[in-house]
Amino acid sequence: MNKERRKAINKIKSQLINLKAELEILKNEEDDFLDNFPANLQNSGKYEQCQIAVDALDLAVDTFDDINTALETAIDKNS
């Protein structure tokens, strides 16, 4: 891999780090909302929807880590 492509990948990695941080903030806000849900509504459909959203956001955050690892591998194997 040439220097220009490595530089482009590093730029993408930097953007991904910023996007992951933004996504983590949103996930934490949704998680806080879920934690403060009234006890009498914790078996409601709304609560279940919020839990599904938190789980999906967790998966999305983890996916950013997987993408970063794959990009690192691409750079390391082609240096």
Structure token pair of residue 53: 């959203």
pLDDT per position as a tens digit, 33-74:
999 988 888 889 989 999 999 999 999 999 999 999 999 998
Predicted pLDDT of residue 78: 63
pLDDT of residue 1 exceeding 90: no
User: How long is the chain?
Assistant: 79
Predicted pLDDT of residue 77: 73
Would you list the domain boundaries of the chain? 3-77
Question: What does the alpha-carbon distance between residue 57 and residue 30 come to, in Å, rounded to a whole number?
Answer: 9
Question: What does the alpha-carbon distance between residue 37 and residue 34 come to, in Å, rounded to a whole number?
Answer: 5
